[in-house]
Chains A and B, each alone.
Chain A
Amino acid sequence: MSASDLLQKGPRVIGVGLPGFVDDLNTQGIDASALDWRPPASKNTAALEAAEALSAGDVAGQISSANAQAIERMHTADPVLCDVQLAADVIEGLGEHKVLHAGPPIEWDHMCGPMQGAVAGAIVLEGWAKNLEAAFKLANSGKITFEPNHHHNAVGPMTGIVTQSMPLMVVENRTFGNKSYCAINEGLGKVMRFGGNDDSVLERLRWLESTMGPLLADTLLACEGVDLKNIISRGLSMGDEMHQRNVACTSLIMRELAPTMARVGDPDTASEVLAFIAGNDQFFLNVAMAMGKAIMDPVRDIGGSSIVTAMCRNGTEFGIRVSGCGDQWFTAPVEMPRGLYFPGFTEKDANPDMGDSTIVETIGLGGFAMAASPAVAGFVGAGTAADAAAFTNQMAEITWSRNPEWTIPALDFDGVPTGIDICKVMNSGITPTINTGIAHREPGIGQVGAGVVNAPLGCFEQACLSLHERLNAS
């Protein structure tokens, strides 16, 4: 809008600061709206200056074209759920005494209760120790190697523990040819992702390995995979945001799988597996996570790009990766989720935020797609449908683009906000909102609530400093 347009047509104002000036204009019937402006949230002056420097001049241009490339790769991704394979067969170097976990790198001593519990369970499952007591001892001995799922093209919910004999779903991004992996969702209640490790937990894991994994693999191979992009697209218009709520997508993928599964499996096994999927509204979460990883991995190393390629947490720290900073992790202490608790539990029981599932927010789903899922907004205490829309619109303030295919009917088919920009996060002080389950802080008890949590600003401060340094050096 040029200056002469301003003089000829008169002012149509956005107020940045004192709301009174906008009120004055509105009382005169002038088109004006006030921002809910706030000063930057960060106290880190160097990081604020870095973000400021990255937002101006030639550097901004360089970042802008790098980000355009990142967004292009995200939007052209073609993720397909194509197979189920044993972890040992698809993850290089995953063998004896090696455990993959959620979040950025962490050693045994620093792991929270549920993660230690899950590790011990996995050790018993693999037969590296006879019982849980021996498993804790072994883990504590330093003879177990711990590595993040993210270092192996994999992701896992909550504790995210992966060992060699676990079946992993395979999602291939057919545009770029890369593959990502995630375990099959175990269901609710006492499960390993919440630190559960008793016999019932291990029994279910063995069933997944022996029965469900192979049948799901046969089914996927027979039907040549399931295209995930359009399932998400339909799921969004059916009230899922793919983090807290996956009931629509779980049903949709059942429709894709069931006819083939009935053909390739024996009737009893097929019935058993389909019943298992049907009994778990969150079955699709793990599929969405593998998909998120498959979409983001090709974006991981674009020089100069300020787009976040991964967000995850290990129950102790929150970590992010940024395209222009390659595989470097930027971590900060993880925050406590705010939310509603199941009866009998309070925030005193809650474990700090945990899991790789934030990969779904990284691609614009979960908290970013809250507007599609007013039911979830109520569940996490956000309240009304208008609040849900406001959540999504606020996330659009820190993203580079909106996904043209994943649209939200309630937002007049605006796409989900896609491509989190660390500079925009720093400049606005708005941190990504994540929809999350809340685990009990003791191993084995399971989920005690659900809510929202924000990515800590500290990760973005460090990332801005690093990106600034890299761009200055080049």
Chain B
Amino acid sequence: MSTIVNEVRKGFYLDSVALMRLSAEIAAMGGIEEAVLMIGTPSNLEIMQNAGVLNATGDTAGPNDLVIALRADGKGSANRALAHANETLDGKSKKKGGQSAAKARTLKGGLTLHPDANLALVSTPGTYASREARAALDAGLNVMIFSDNVSLDSETKLKRQARASNLLVMGPDCGTAYINQVPLAFANSLSHVTSAANTAAIAASGTGLQEFAVLLSKLGGNLKHGIGVGGRDLSDAVGAISTLQAIDLLSEDDSIEQIVLISKPPGPDTAKLVFDKLAQCGKKVIACVFGYEESLVPDSITYAANLRDTAELAADSKLEEPDYDSIADSLVIDIDADRQYVCGLFTGGTLCTETQLILQQAGINTSSNAAAGSSTPLTDSTDAHRIVDLGADEYTVGRPHPMMEPLVRTDALAQALNNASTAVIILDVVLGYGAHEDPTAAIVTTLNNGPQSRPVVIAYVCGTESDPQRLNKQQSALSDAGAIVCDSNCGAAELSAAIIQRIKNR
């Protein structure tokens, strides 16, 4: 018989990521069936109700209170877990209290303490993000909105307000940016190459910008700015307000020699605005627009089919990669006849998109929950080429993004390892600031606990040696666990495609 235990801590706030990590930690304790630590907003209470962990005590919580909700096999386990939760929370809150003497609660207060600030980085829950962004614009600050779940209407209003005041809005849902070589939010640590031409990117995609930045850096290029504009900026609804501003800013900047655009296909009306402005900006322009016809891009703009091509064109140099065809030849020998399908488990949205398009070019019919190109919707059947974006909304409601909490991928990976029809598993690992401190650890554990006979595991680590997680260390850990580690996301997709083609032809 399960016991449900709730405790409410009045007026105690921690950001949801910290709470979720702690929830996971507590859920792993002995005798605990479910552990949820959440701020008591109405929607969170509903989530906890639905999770069957809420009782009358927890239900009294307000939006400024923390609920600790546990389902355990008995009072003893519940009390141990509760004690651990409280110890951890107290430790954290003490640290916070020590600093908060000098910390402001609102932007107004923050600006009094730091009058020189020029950028607000907004990463609150989406419900509150547009209000904070507007307050920042009112105060004359540029804004990077990391938060998602901001309405299209709010996005457009914020961007119009910003444009009228010569301010820039990056986002919403802008995971990555580099401003004057400073990495913001989810971004890799890049070495600065003063001898190389200065490149600036305008990106409607966080992991797209990260992959480009990492490859450009590897090829000796120098990224000065990476302006994130948010995934919807180039839609006709928003009309590329931030992108057009960014083009103007960069074309006025004499230190910038070339501009790179990374985006999904723009809205039809917006495409013309953006490409016309890019064509006239007076700099070399490379456009990587996923799923877009090359013929739709004006001649004066260099078309790039994927992020590796983009980086190679920008750096004017080729990435040295192994001969994936010969690797595929040797791997395919040991793959059972029943194994026919590829299963991609991605944490980076654009890496997932790029993989689908490359597989499709190789004649592989992909399915995906974040369909790109000719992908069909994902179904429950595992007898299909499945390319899954684990960072999509349906996986992240009430849970942290898999780039922050790699454990989110564990179940899906274990299933794929045990699936008899899967031939190839593709994994991405994104390093850098903001990402988990050791993202391969969860993968390695799952691989080591997996079956002897398993699909080929192909992995790509998007990162640099100066990232906090260290590229080499992460790559070695994966290799040691039997994964094949590729040098680009394209490479991982190409190797997977080569294997599947050989399976088809045998």
Interface segment among A23-31, A230-238, A258-266: the answer is: A23-31
A403 in the interface (beta carbon within 8 A): no
Q: Does B236 interact with chain A (Cβ within 8 Å)?
A: no
Contacting pair B179 A1 (CB below 8 A): no
Structural contact, B167 and A31, CB atoms closer than 8 A: no
How far is it, in angstroms, between the C-alpha of A90 and the C-alpha of B17 when the chains are bound? 61
Annotate A25-67 by CB proximity to B: 1 below 8 A, 0 otherwise.
1001011111111111111000000001001100000000000
Chain A residues near B136 (CB, 8 Å)? 14, 16
Q: Evaluate contact between B105 and A3: CB separation under 8 angstroms.
A: no
What residue of chain A has the Cβ atom nearest to residue B114's Cβ? A33
> A223: CB under 8 A from chain B?
no
**Stretch of B122-130, B278-286, B338-346, B370-378 with 4 or more beta carbons under 8 angstroms from chain A:** B122-130
Complex-state Cα separation, A5 to B113, whole angstroms:
20
**In the complex, what residues of B have CB within 8 A of residue A162's CB?**
none
- A16 with B102: in contact, given A7-B180, A10-B179, A41-B63 (CB under 8 Å)? no
Are A16 and B121 in contact, with the CB atoms below 8 A? yes
User: Which of chain A's residues 385-429 have a Cβ closer than 8 Å to chain B?
Assistant: 386-387, 389-390, 393-394, 396-397, 424, 427-429
Any A CB within 8 A of the CB of B110:
yes
For A, the interface residue count at a CB cutoff of 8 angstroms equals 56
Query: With the chains together, A42 CA to B100 CA distance in Å?
Result: 22
A430 at the interface (CB under 8 A from B): yes
Q: Give CA–CA (A228, B39) in the complex, Å.
A: 47
Instruction: Pick the interface stretch among B81-89, B138-146, B265-273, B480-488.
Output: B138-146
Distance in Å: Cβ of A433 to nearest Cβ of chain B: 12
Residue in B106, B167, B168, B250 whose CB lies within 8 Å of A428:
B106
CB-based contact A4/B118 at 8 Å:
no
Of chain A, the residue at the smallest CB distance from B133 is A16
A174 at the interface (CB under 8 A from B): no
Cα(A16)–Cα(B114), bound, Å: 13
A404: min CB distance to chain B, Å: 16
- Cβ-based interface call for A303 (8 A): no
> Would you call A17 an interface residue if the criterion is a C-beta within 8 Å of the partner chain's C-beta atoms?
yes
**In the complex, what's the smallest C-beta–C-beta distance from B433 to chain A, in angstroms?**
4
For residue A422, give the distance in angstroms from its CB to the closest CB of chain B.
15
> Whole-angstrom distance between the alpha carbons of A302 and B103 in the complex?
34
Residue from B100, B182, B245, B433 in contact with A11 in the complex, judged by beta carbons closer than 8 Å? B182
From 12 to 26 in chain A, residues with beta carbon under 8 angstroms from any chain B beta carbon are 12-22, 24-25
CA distance A393 to B15 in the complex (A): 23
**Please, which residues of chain B bring their CB within 8 A of the CB of A424?**
106, 108
Please tell me if B62 contacts chain A, counting CB pairs below 8 Å: yes
Q: Hey, which chain A residues are within 8 Å of B249, CB to CB?
A: 3-4, 7
The distance from the CB of A376 to the nearest CB of chain B, in whole angstroms, is 16
Q: Does A76 contact B (CB under 8 A)?
A: no
Q: Are A36 and B96 in contact (CB under 8 A)?
A: yes
Q: How far is the CB of A402 from chain B (nearest CB, A)?
A: 9
| Residue in A2, A3, A390, A428 whose beta carbon sits within 8 Å of that of B100 in the complex | A390
In the complex, whether B147 has a CB less than 8 A from a CB of chain A is yes
Tell whether A37 pairs with B63 under 8 Å between CB atoms, given A7-B253, A21-B146: no
Determine the distance from Cα of A3 to Cα of B244 in the docked complex, in whole angstroms.
13
Partner of A21 from B118, B121, B167, B181 at Cβ < 8 Å: B121
B218 contacts chain A at the CB level, 8 A cutoff: no
Inter-chain contact A14/B15, CB cutoff 8 Å: no
Do B182 and A16 touch (CB < 8 A)?
no
The 0/1 profile, CB within 8 Å of A marked 1, for residues 71-114 of chain B is 00000000000000000000000001000111111111111111
Please give me the residue from chain A that is nearest to B242 by CB atom: A3
Alpha-carbon distance between A36 and B69 when the two chains are bound, in angstroms: 25
Task: Please tell me if A9 contacts chain B, counting CB pairs below 8 Å.
Answer: yes
CB distance from A24 to the nearest CB of B (A): 4
Chain B residues lying within 8 Å of A394, measured Cβ to Cβ, are 104-105, 109
Shortest beta-carbon distance, A420 to chain B, in Å?
13
B182 touches A30 (CB 8 A): yes
Residue of B nearest to A51 (CB): B131
B116 touching A3, Cβ below 8 Å: no
**CB of B64 within 8 A of chain A?**
yes
Distance between Cα atoms of A386 and B118 in the complex (Å): 27
Given contacts A9-B180, A11-B180, A40-B128, contact A427 B117 (CB under 8 A): no
Whether A474 sits at the interface, judged by CB under 8 Å, is no
Kindly list chain B residues whose C-beta atoms are within 8 Å of the C-beta of A389.
101
Which residue of the partner chain, among A3, A55, A427, A428, contacts B142 with CB atoms under 8 Å? Answer: A3
Interface pair A13/B119, CB less than 8 Å apart: yes
Q: A7 is contacted by which of B123, B147, B179 (Cβ under 8 Å)?
A: B179
Write the nearest CB–CB distance from A309 to chain B, whole angstroms: 21
Note all chain A residues with C-beta closer than 8 A to B105: 35-38, 394, 397, 428-430
Chain B nearest Cβ from A213, distance in angstroms = 44
- Whether the pair A16, B64 counts as a contact (CB closer than 8 A) is no
CB distance from A296 to the nearest CB of B (A): 23
Shortest Cβ distance from A19 into B: residue: B15
Q: Which of B219-265 contact A (CB under 8 A)?
A: 225, 245, 249-250, 252-253
Give chain B residues whose Cβ lies under 8 Å from the Cβ of A43: 62-63
> Which listed residue, B17, B64, B182, touches A39 by the CB 8 Å rule?
B64
Q: In the bound complex, what is the Cα–Cα distance between A386 and B100 (angstroms)?
A: 10
Question: Does B462 have its Cβ within 8 Å of any Cβ on chain A?
Answer: no
A419 to nearest B CB, angstroms? Answer: 13
| B3 interfacial by beta-carbon distance below 8 Å | no
Given A16-B107, A34-B103, A36-B96, answer yes or no on A52-B131 (Cβ-Cβ < 8 Å): yes
- Determine whether B166 belongs to the interface, using a CB cutoff of 8 Å to chain A: yes
| Distance between B176 CB and nearest chain A CB, rounded to angstroms | 11
Q: Assuming the A-B contacts A16-B123, A52-B131, are A21 and B13 also in contact, with contact meaning beta carbons closer than 8 angstroms in the complex?
A: no
In the complex, A4 Cα to B167 Cα: how many Å? 8
Beyond A1-B140, A15-B121, is A21–B434 a contact (Cβ under 8 Å)?
Answer: yes
Please name the residue on chain B nearest to A52 by beta carbon. Answer: B131
A311 to B111, CA, bound (A): 28
Taking the complex as formed, is B120 at the interface, i.e. its CB lies under 8 A from any CB of chain A? yes
Instruction: Kindly provide the distance from the CB of B96 to the nearest chain A CB, expressed in whole angstroms.
Output: 7
Contact of A16 among B120, B168, B179 (CB under 8 A): B120
CA distance A397 to B182 in the complex (A): 30
Closest to A414 in B: B112
Inter-chain contacts of A141 with B (CB < 8 A): none
The CB with the most chain A CB atoms within 10 A, among B41, B96, B127, B146, is that of: B146
Kindly state whether residue A8 has any CB partner on chain B within 8 Å.
yes
Q: A6-B118, A7-B249, A39-B13 known; A17 and B124 CB under 8 Å?
A: yes
Q: Is the CB of A14 within 8 A of B119?
A: yes
B103 neighbours in A (Cβ, 8 Å): 33-36
B112, A6: Cβ atoms under 8 Å? Answer: no
Contact at A397–B118, with CB atoms within 8 Å?
Answer: no
Q: Is the CB of B108 within 8 A of A1?
A: no
- Within 8 Å by CB of A14, from B102, B114, B131, lies B114
Closest chain A CB from B190 CB (angstroms): 11
**Residues of A close to B180: CB separation below 8 A:** 7-11
Instruction: Indicate if the CB atoms of B116 and A12 lie closer than 8 Å.
Output: yes
A384: CB under 8 A from chain B? Answer: yes
Proximity string of chain A (87-117) to chain B, C-beta cutoff 8 Å, 1 when within and 0 when not: 0000000000000000000000000000000
Instruction: Report B-chain residues with C-beta under 8 Å of the C-beta of A1.
Output: 117-119, 140-142, 167
User: Cα distance A10–B179 when bound, in Å?
Assistant: 6
B134 interface residue per 8 A CB criterion: yes
| A residues in contact with B17, CB < 8 Å | 18, 20
**Minimum-distance CB pairs A-B, first 7:** A17-B123, A10-B180, A1-B118, A3-B168, A397-B109, A24-B433, A36-B103
10 other contacts beyond A25-B184, A393-B113, with CB at 8 A cut-off? A2-B166, A6-B142, A10-B179, A10-B180, A13-B119, A14-B107, A17-B146, A18-B17, A35-B107, A397-B104
* 20 chain-A/chain-B pairs, Cβ below 8 angstroms: A1-B117, A1-B140, A1-B141, A11-B180, A14-B107, A14-B120, A16-B124, A17-B123, A17-B146, A18-B123, A21-B184, A25-B182, A28-B182, A36-B103, A39-B41, A39-B125, A40-B128, A41-B64, A42-B63, A429-B105
A residues apposed to B, CB below 8 Å: 1-22, 24-25, 28, 30-43, 52, 55-56, 384, 386-387, 389-390, 393-394, 396-397, 424, 427-430
